[in-house]
Structure 1
Amino acid sequence: MKKIAVLILSLLFAESIISDEIKVHWMYSWMPFTYTIPEGSVGIFYRGAFLKQVYPPGIHGLLLWPITRGMRINVRPQIDIIEDVLCGTKDGLTIKFPRIAVYNQLEKDEVLNIVSNFGEEYDHYLITEPTVQAVTELCTTMTAQEIYIDKFPTINDFLLQQLVEEQVKSNSKLKINKVVVSKPVLPENIRRNYEVIVEEKSKRVAVSETQARKLKEAETEQLERSKKAQTDKMVAEIENEKKLEFEKNQMELEKIRVSARVHKMLEDAEAEAVVLKKKGKAEAYVVQISGEAHANATLLEAIANERLITPLYVQIKQAEAFWKNNNSKIIYFGEKIPESVYPGFISAGDVKNQ
């Protein structure tokens, strides 16, 4: 007896072996009229019916022990493991899922509702049974190849959705976080065949991914070349626009220069025209004066000639001309001397009569 007491005391106070929480729980669990609730759990009490109170972690007294019975309900996130679930596939094979893990959590505000409706083993009714039923129904709609290879990645999400809908239907408020299904176990010969299929599929996927990667690289390279061509085109367009703008500015400047030269030429021409006009007026005036002077001189000369040329003057000039042009120096005499002073004044009839 003494050895048993020593063993109990050493277990209670061995810090390196058992935690304070376990020691306290173990110690008080043997004490009458008390009930211990560990951390991560809540307590509810049953006395013919569930008391309408949820007790937090700690040590609680039980005045009517042993009539009142306590229950510890885990409210931390937990994992329910369902093992060796058998189902028959659409193509007549029996397969087994060795492990299905359901991650769930019971909120402390929903403890009384769930335990009063489904009991302490609520997870059996809300998780295990619905999961087995969902897997069985799923297998009847799919072939072994679909379950084992083609559609296996979708099973987790399918079961998660089924369990969430089950909680809504039963109004349990149990939170389902995640479902993880292990690879099903097939008959050995079937499994080898599917492994070959999976291997071939993996090779095809690898080849397809390699081709897709090369295609993507080619598309990327083509895209880069296209971007570079577009960039070069934009640069060339910008350079052309700059060049055109420069030439346009040069043309505008040249137009301004030409306009200035034309304006200068017009001004010079107008000035020259003014000068020529003035000069023309002066020359015309000089010509007019000269003409008038010449006309006056001619008039005076004519007047002088008119006064100079008298009948006597005319006879003298005739005589001078006669002697100058008459080489024979012949002089005719007769009755008509006044009419034949020199041969040019004598008619042919008059010569014969001589």
Structure 2
Amino acid sequence: MDAQQQQRAAAPRPRPPEGGGGGGDFSAIFTVLLAFLGIAAMIIVPSASTLKQSLSILHQVPEGHVGVYWRGGALLNTITGPGFHLKMPLLTNFEPIQVTLQTDLVRDIPCGTKGGVMINFEKIEVVNRLHKDYVYDTLRDYGVQYDNTWIYDKIHHEINQFCSAHSLQQVYIDMFDQIDEKMKDALQADCTRYAPGIEIISVRVTKPTIPESIRRNFEQMEEERTKVLIAMEKQRVAEKEAETHKKIAVSEAEKYAHVSKIHMEQKLMEKDSLRRQEEIANAMYLAREKSLADADYYRTLKEAEANKLKLTSQYLELKFIEAIANNSKIYFGNKLPNMVLDQRLLETFCKTQSRKRT
């Protein structure tokens, strides 16, 4: 071994860095890892951009949508539901189609009325839904923007048709509440005929914008109409109040008449009761007087019979003597009355009367 080799062998060797391999190996691994993550981000992770969708293998269909696919520009009949799905990158394109309720907003629709006045509908909302079973047929015939044909353009056409057939008064006031239903029926009729998968749920039409001078005229007409309605309402209220007062008066009169009738019936009943009491009292008095008269008649009759039995000559003579005895007057003289002294004459008179009675 020469001196140069010995010097190299004797020189100290550099120590490797702590932790294993050299710096070159670590850099290579890190570069490969970044490249792998970049490829995964481009191919595996789904994205919203069209370029990344064409490059990605894994894609996501949101809830309320279905997945529709094109390969080489041709629509495939494969329809997928919500969730993650796989497709061929670059060759197959993917588009989510909403199958739940959605609202299409159509703005700034100018139209001319029957009288030639230009008005503008600022906003019309159309609530619609595409049935899942008709997604393939609808997209095959009308493309992804099928609502441009059957909603946006159709609304413009139907609004212009409606305005051209009616006056401003009808469009703005008289028939405005019917425009929603007319637009809905017109859209649904054509969709049912040409695109049966589209269902029109409802149409909401805002008030159109009209020229300022005409709008002021309508406002004045509305004010006058409001005044007339207020006057009619006041008249109706007055009539109702008068009718109410009339009903109250009739009710009060009927109440008083009913009370008066009750009082009259009560008085009549009292009078009838008094009359019956008087009749009973009269009957009682008549019966009592009749009883008294009968009793007096019977007493008199019995007294007469008793007197008839008493009127004998002996009894009359006894009564005569008692009457003379009770007389306290004494007469003196040569001539006394015959009635006093002639007792025979008195006896003869009594016998004569007794014979007459018998």
TM-score of the pair, normalised by structure 1: 0.62
1:33 aligns with 2:57: yes
2:86 aligned to which of 61, 76, 79: 61
**Once the two structures are aligned, what percentage of the paired residues are identical?**
18
Trace 1:1-354 onto structure 2 (pairs within 5 A).
25-26=47-48, 29=53, 32-46=56-70, 50-51=76-77, 53-56=79-82, 58-62=83-87, 64-83=88-107, 85=109, 89-91=113-115, 99-108=123-132, 110-112=134-136, 114-143=138-167, 147=171, 151=175, 154-170=178-194, 171-180=196-205, 183=208, 191=211, 195-291=212-308, 293-294=310-311, 305=348
Contact 2:67–2:81 (Cα < 8 Å) also in 1: yes
- Distance, in Å, in 1 between the alignment partners of 2:143 and 2:91 is 18
Query: What is the CA distance between 1:250 and its match in structure 2?
Result: 3.0
- Residue number in structure 2 paired with 1:332: none
- Distance, in Å, in 2 between the alignment partners of 1:86 and 1:205 is 25
Contact 2:53–2:93 (Cα < 8 Å) also in 1: no
- Distance, in Å, in 1 between the alignment partners of 2:67 and 2:264 is 93
Contact 2:170–2:176 (Cα < 8 Å) also in 1: yes
Q: Give RMSD over aligned pairs.
A: 4.2
Residues 253-274 of structure 1: per-residue CA shift (max 9 Å, x gap): 3322331232132123213312
Contact 1:83–1:97 (Cα < 8 Å) also in 2: yes
SS in 2 for 1:59: strand
- Distance, in Å, in 2 between the alignment partners of 1:61 and 1:126 is 32
Go from structure 1 to structure 2 and tell me whether the alpha carbon gap of 1:295 and 1:75 turns closer, same or farther (over 3 Å shift).
farther
Go from structure 1 to structure 2 and tell me whether the alpha carbon gap of 1:55 and 1:147 turns closer, same or farther (over 3 Å shift).
same
Go from structure 1 to structure 2 and tell me whether the alpha carbon gap of 1:75 and 1:282 turns closer, same or farther (over 3 Å shift).
same
Instruction: For 1:133, give the aligned amino acid.
Output: H
SS in 2 for 1:174: strand
Contact 2:113–2:163 (Cα < 8 Å) also in 1: yes
- Distance, in Å, in 1 between the alignment partners of 2:169 and 2:229 is 26
SS in 1 for 2:59: strand
- Distance, in Å, in 2 between the alignment partners of 1:88 and 1:222 is 46
Contact 1:54–1:112 (Cα < 8 Å) also in 2: no
- Distance, in Å, in 1 between the alignment partners of 2:307 and 2:69 is 154
Go from structure 1 to structure 2 and tell me whether the alpha carbon gap of 1:218 and 1:100 turns closer, same or farther (over 3 Å shift).
closer
- Distance, in Å, in 1 between the alignment partners of 2:48 and 2:213 is 55
* Number of residues of Structure 1 aligned to a counterpart in Structure 2: 280
Contact 1:75–1:108 (Cα < 8 Å) also in 2: yes
Query: What is the CA distance between 1:109 and its match in structure 2?
Result: 5.4
- Distance, in Å, in 1 between the alignment partners of 2:147 and 2:312 is 151
Query: What is the CA distance between 1:234 and its match in structure 2?
Result: 0.9
Contact 2:115–2:168 (Cα < 8 Å) also in 1: yes
Contact 1:78–1:105 (Cα < 8 Å) also in 2: yes
TM-score of the pair, normalised by structure 2: 0.62
- Distance, in Å, in 2 between the alignment partners of 1:44 and 1:137 is 36
- Distance, in Å, in 1 between the alignment partners of 2:221 and 2:110 is 32
Instruction: For 1:123, give the aligned amino acid.
Output: D
SS in 2 for 1:200: helix
Go from structure 1 to structure 2 and tell me whether the alpha carbon gap of 1:107 and 1:279 turns closer, same or farther (over 3 Å shift).
farther
